[in-house]
Amino acid sequence: MNEQLTLQDIYRARQRIAGLTLRTPLVRSESLSRRWNCEAWLKLDCLQPTGAFKLRGAVNALLGLDAAQRRRGVVTMSTGNFGRALAYAGQHLGIPVKVCISRLVPQNKVEALRQSGAELVIHGEAQDEADVEARRLRDEQGLAYVSPFDDPLVIAGQGTCGLEIMEEQPDIDMLFAGLSGGGLIAGIGLAVKSINPRAEVIGVSMNQGAAMLESLAAGHPLQVPEVASLADSLGGGIGLDNAWSFAMTQRYMDRGYKVDEAQIARAMLHFLREEKLLVEGAAAVGVAAVEQHQLDLSGRRVAFVVSGQNLSTATFAEACRLAGERPYENL
């Protein structure tokens, strides 16, 4: 990494994105605090207008473009929360957004993206092929390619979530967040460590297809097969040509954990029953990690980034099945 991001970039991002994103609440969880004999805080980034923290980075990336690039527009290949966030931000800022997707993307996701105002480019049979098309459009049409996680402006935007946590609870001992491409952990890690270097930053991925954790173990970016998970927003690779999020995760993340599907399901049900929040699997992995790895949190101040709430009823039903619950009887 020749250039480095600093806390100043996160402050700059915060000023830029304030108009289109929420400063989300940090609320105490009574039930988790009691269960683990700690002070547990939930950062409710699931309340962002597009249902996930990704809007922070997407808005910052678009507002960082110069006037000519804004006119030409941007292209990405994310079919999930980032694609949705970029489309929303583009619509509000008058910047054309193209999202390249493969023919395999399910119809409900295609509809959601279309409704969010993005122009869809359907290409190839797999995400990799869609990505090749996105890069081709970048070169051919002079669009700016925006990575969902490996982009300094995106990372600085996600860092604003960590900055907000530290402003309200500067004495946090530990912070848990979902880990996929690493944009969230990179940004939050930079914010947290700049303000309190002793606070621990912990990333959590699902058991199968944890591309960043496997890459960190190997010491370089690896390609890992993608496997379906309740934490579907944590799927996908980190890019073999990763320039930012791998090095920053290596630097700022203290530990990583993997969690299994049944534990993610139980954590999702915890949010529904005890916190009265419907959250997606990726947002529940921190709670799942504490349970599965029996982490001792007693006497500590702990923050959990509740990162998103974009969940289909089918996925929720699957979570209930895996958790062994009949939701309509037992809420």
- Judged by beta carbon, residue 70 or residue 77, the one nearer ligand PLP is 77
For ligand PLP, the closer of residues 95 and 186 by Cβ is 186
Closest CB 38 distance from ligand PLP, rounded Å: 22
Please, what is the minimum distance in Å from the beta carbon of residue 54 to ligand PLP? 5
DSSP 154-199: HHHHHHHHHHHHHHH-TT--EEEEE-SSSHHHHHHHHHHHHH-TTS
- What secondary structure letter does DSSP report for 271? I
Q: Minimal distance in Å, beta carbon 154 to ligand PLP? A: 8
- For the bound state, the minimum distance from the C-beta of residue 299 to ligand PLP, rounded and expressed in Å, comes to 28
Backbone φ and ψ of 235, nearest 5°: -75, 170
- Compute the least distance from the CB of residue 112 to ligand PLP, in Å: 13
- Which H or E run contains 241? none
- For residues 182 and 205, the answer to whether their CB atoms sit within 8 Å is no
Q: Nearest residue by C-beta to ligand PLP?
A: 308
DSSP category for residue 219 = T
CA 147 to chain centre: 13
Comparing CB distances to ligand PLP, the nearer of 70 and 237 is 237
**Of 70 and 203, CB closest to ligand PLP:** 203
Which of these, 46, 53, 48, 116, lies nearest to 79 by C-alpha position?
116
Least Å distance, CB 230 to ligand PLP, is: 12
| Pick 64 or 178: Cβ nearer ligand PLP | 178
The footprint of ligand PLP (CB under 6 A) covers 52, 54, 80-81, 149, 178-185, 233-234, 280, 282-283, 307-308
How many angstroms separate the CA atoms of 50 and 290, rounded?
Answer: 28
With contact defined as beta carbons under 8 Å apart, do 131 and 239 qualify?
no
Angle subtended at Cα 276 by Cα 278 and Cα 261, rounded to the nearest 5 degrees? 45
Q: Which of 149, 304 has the CB closer to ligand PLP? A: 149
